[in-house]
Amino acid sequence: MKAGGVIGVLLLNLGGPDSLSAVRPFLFNLFSDRDIIRLGPSFMQRPLAHLISTMRHRKTEGFYRQIGGKSPILDITAAQARELEKGLNTPGGRRFSVFVGMRYWHPFIEDVVPVIYRKGIDRLVVLSLYPHYSVATTGSSVSKFKQVAGGLPIRSVTISSWYDHPLYIDALVNNIRKGMETFQESADPVHLLFSAHSLPAKFIEEGDPYVDQIKGTIKEVAKKIDLPHDLSYQSRSGPVKWLEPSTDHMIEHLAGKGVKNLLVVPISFVSDHIETLYEIDILYKRMAEGMGVRLERVESLNTSPLFISALRDIIEKDVEDAGWDR
């Protein structure tokens, strides 16, 4: 039974522990995914993921305690979904229903897709909330979606990247300009540091477009904001070679060059999570202070009206391209 012509939208994201007790199983799910990191031969992936999550969970719980005892990513993504649904459902227009599916914690993609089907929705826009495509992020999430939805009579279109969408760029630029205002009383110039989530270098060597798309976003931002800037990578974990330079090393490098005001742009994150609230706001800020650098962070996009407008525009254009009538 069809849901009266309703078009579904499924927002895909990483997910995060919703309590301290969820940290260990969340880490296990994360490290069990060979699309993110390959831990030896395939038959050893889950045993090694169990070992790593057992060894790391107490330390990681300590980080989450410092940001309120859980990840805010589900609350934020749910709020994004609500705002997006409001924006899509204009009077006299198409009808949309927006859902959230997470890769490594509740609500899991594999649990949400059957709910969508049971609601009678047979047209679905699948939108990754990673602006920049990587096999380790969007690729893994979309693969899980296709695995779950493969046997269901649901027509779907998948939006895998939108790193240079004009409204997304405008939303970033708007938040960067707000961040620059925090330094307006300082006589020292501001230096931008775009900090992206790191990936194993092997993915890029094998042709993953992630780094090129990150640089593509920065290129578009630089057309509108003329400030010196650099790119670095954060949140590495695991015994493999990761993208360089790391954000902590770049902060040290810039301090050595005499930079006093550093504005960090979390370029590959659209929602606050442990990477912004702990890693940048606490760990890197403390590190920078010890080097005589004032470090501030650009606000995450979260439910920024410009950002929600960007998501709405992306979805509406793909619905038009799919030829889905009202």
CB 142 within 8 A of CB 12: yes
The pLDDT of residue 1: 39
Region 29-33: mean pLDDT is 91
Kindly report the average pLDDT of the chain as a whole number. 95
The pLDDT of residue 256: 98
| Most distant CA pair in the chain, distance | 65
Residue 92, pLDDT > 70, answer: yes
Which tokens go with 94?
Answer: 């198409």
The pLDDT of residue 136: 92
Region 80-106: mean pLDDT is 96
Split at pLDDT 50, 70, 90, the class of 68 is very high
Distance from C-alpha of 206 to C-alpha of 275, rounded to nearest angstrom: 26
Whole-angstrom CA distances from 174 to 131, 198, 265, 296 are 17, 25, 12, 16
The pLDDT of residue 195: 98
The pLDDT of residue 117: 96
Q: Find where tokens 């003329």 sit.
A: 226
Quick: pLDDT tens for 156-165.
999 999 999 9
The pLDDT of residue 89: 97
Quick: pLDDT tens for 177-222.
999 999 999 999 999 999 999 999 999 999 999 999 999 999 999 9
Distance from C-alpha of 132 to C-alpha of 14, rounded to nearest angstrom: 14
| Cβ neighbours of residue 317 closer than 8 Å, sequence gap 6 or more | none
Quick: pLDDT tens for 56-67.
999 999 999 999
Quick: pLDDT tens for 253-278.
999 999 999 999 999 999 999 999 99
Region 279-300: mean pLDDT is 98
Query: Of 28-37, 73-82, 156-165, 286-295, where does mean pLDDT reach its minimum?
Result: 28-37
Lay out the sheet containing 155-159: strands in order across.
96-102, 7-13, 123-128, 155-159
Split at pLDDT 50, 70, 90, the class of 325 is low
Residue 307, pLDDT > 70, answer: yes
Q: Domains plus CATH for the chain?
A: 20-65 (no CATH), 166-297 (3.40.50.1400)
Task: Give the rounded percent of residues in the chain with a pLDDT score beyond 70.
Answer: 98
300: left (phi over 0), alpha (psi -120 to 50) or beta: beta
The pLDDT of residue 326: 57
